Structure 1
Amino acid sequence: MENQNQDYNYNNVIQIEDSESTSRKYLASVFVWMFVALGISAFTTFEFFANASLMDLIVDPVAHRFTGLGYLAIFAPVAFSFVISFGFNRISYPAMLFLFITYAVTIGVSLSIFGLIYTASSIFGVFLSSAVVFGIMAIAGYTTHMDLTKFGSILIMIFFAAFAVGLINFFLGSAQLQYLLSFVFVAIMIGLTAYYMQMLKRIGAGMEFGTDSSKKLVLIGAFVLYTTFINLFTSMLRIFGGRR
């Protein structure tokens, strides 16, 4: 009986270690693609901000309003989000990779507009602060033993409600409401960072690598974390960014 119990415990330990190893491997791939997306967005943002002719394509230099392409750059990421999120089973891996990279480019184009509003030093400072907050919450989500499923579901519902209000306010132009929504979005993104990390950790634990499905799951994970970080960064920038 004693030997049987020892074998049973040993086998359990091996299973846990394999699960954790698979999860770490999956999350490592997720973060690699997340950083690739951030690099693409940063490069695109710099190119549009540094090149006046490119910036004129999205902001009319005379009227100081968004052009048609500018509105497209702002709202296109929303369309990409729905396609990537709900087209998992219908889209091939190459097509999803193309959408993911294009999504990062459009985010970069829309972020370049912030360079016209905020100082470069404040953008850099807020970016670092956002990265620290994101990192802390990612670690918290990965290490916590508390089930964040219900908590995350509530945050997602609040996010969609706040997003709808923000979309309406985009056309109303209320600075006070936008400022208030920024605090709401920061709180939501902080909580969602922990929730998504726990969710991705569980996905990675049951991952079978080498298939198109697993490759797409890596992109989905990168997309989720990348989008969460961008929303956190832009919301914090609206609160703490120093205007020109």
Structure 2
Amino acid sequence: MNLNNYEGRVSYNEMDTEVSNSFIRKVFLNMIGGLVITTLVPIYVFFFNQELVYTLASYFKVIAIAEMALVFFLSLGINKMSSTTARLVFFIYSLMNGILFSSLAFVFHPISILYTLGVTVIMFVVIGIYGYTTKEDLTKYSKFLMTGLITIIIISLINLFIGAPLLYWAGTILGVVIFSGLIAFDINRIKYIAYEIAGNNDDEMVEKMGIIGALNLYLDFINLFLYLLRIFGKKRN
């Protein structure tokens, strides 16, 4: 059930449009639900409970580690859990992300965050439409995208020690490019998966695949936003 193991093999013209659209809706509803949770938490903290950030600040590293554990737990254990549990885990992950993101409003001007969020939404929609409507099978770019992700990780680790502005901006631009590509890639892949489940009557399996698809797109959106924030975010003095 891991979407990362799927390779598209079906042409768009062979797809059952109605089934495809239904599955895509499941994916996007889950993704949007996660993003709404992640967005509402910082809004609540910034406008109604700023002290909460200072209270939780000492636990940020623990939360970040717990987040990674949740992603692995959901991705690797999806077959053994119910769709209800999987959705709950995904929303808990989204909530934890929202807690971490609450600190952004104290680092960047809120207007620049909103501007970056708007740019991210526009880019996601435009790239997503391309990924869904193109007749090209984008899974052939998986090795390029994986290489890009590994390169970003290496650049980030190296820059932790040397703090070179050139590496910082190289990683930033590469991050925008790679996660933009992953949006098209994941939506294209999800579209083809929808065809494979067209004749499957296992609604539980379809629900779980929709959650995993939502997690992939959620991560693409969040990472694209964070890299764009490096470009458009205006830090407080």
TM band (smaller chain): 0.7 to 0.9
Which residue in 2 is equivalent to 1:111? 101
Q: Check 1:178–1:90 CA distance in 2 against 1; reply closer, same or farther (3 A cut).
A: farther
**How many equivalent residue pairs?**
220
CA distance 1:175–1:236, shift in 2 (3 Å): farther
Q: CA deviation at 1:164?
A: 4.6
The residue aligned with 2:50 is 52
For residues 14-53 of structure 1, the aligned pairs below 5 Å read: 16=14, 19-50=16-47, 51-53=49-51
Cα deviation code 1:30-68 (max 9, x no counterpart): 111111111111111222333122111233xxxxxxx2x
Could you tell me which runs of 5 or more consecutive residues in structure 2 were left unpaired when the two chains were aligned: 1-12
Is structure 2 residue 235 aligned with structure 1 residue 243? yes
- Alignment partner of 1:189 is 2:179: yes
Report the alpha carbon displacement of residue 80 of structure 1 after superposing the two structures with TM: 2.0
| Equivalent of residue 222 in structure 1, options 201, 211, 214 | 214
Q: CA deviation at 1:128?
A: 0.5
The two structures have a TM-score, normalised by structure 1, of 0.83
Identify the residue that residue 174 of structure 1 maps to in structure 2: 163
Q: Which residue of 2 aligns with 1:80?
A: 70
* Residues 77/182 of structure 1: CA separation in 2 closer, same or farther (3 Å cut): farther
**Does the residue aligned with 1:88 lie in a helix, a strand or coil?**
helix
Q: CA deviation at 1:199?
A: 0.3
| CA distance 1:46–1:209, shift in 2 (3 Å) | farther
- Residue in structure 2 matched with residue 6 of structure 1 by the alignment: none
Q: Which structure would you say has the larger RCO, counting Cα contacts within 8 Å and 6 or more residues apart?
A: 2
Residues 134-165 of structure 1, C-alpha deviations (whole Å, 9 max, x = no match)? 11110111111112112133202321341354
**Correspondence 1:233 to 2:225:** yes
Q: Shift of the alpha carbon at 1:175?
A: 6.2
Q: Does 1:138 align with 2:128?
A: yes
Give the TM-score normalised by the residue count of structure 2: 0.85
C-alpha RMSD of the superposition = 2.0
**Corresponding residue number in structure 2 for 1:212:** 204
Structure 1: which 5+ runs fail to align? 1-14, 60-66
**CA deviation map 1:92-129 (0-9, x unaligned):** 22221121011101111111121111111111011111
Distance 1:100 1:127 in 2: 21
> The residue matched to 2:80 in structure 1 has which SS?
coil
Answer with 1 or 2: which has the greater Rg. Answer: 1
**Distance of aligned partners of 1:201 and 1:175 in 2 relative to their CA distance in 1, 3 Å threshold:** same
Q: Which runs of 4+ in 1 moved over 4 A?
A: none
Query: Percent identity between the aligned chains?
Result: 28
Aligned to 1:12: none
Partner of 2:91: 101
- For 1:52, give the aligned amino acid: Q
Greater mean deviation of Cα atoms: 190-199 or 109-118: 109-118
Partners of 1:101 and 1:154 in 2: CA distance = 30
Query: Kindly tell me: are residues 75 and 168 of structure 1, through their superposed partners in 2, closer, same or farther at Cα, counting changes over 3 Å?
Result: farther
CA contact (8 A) 1:41 1:105 kept: yes
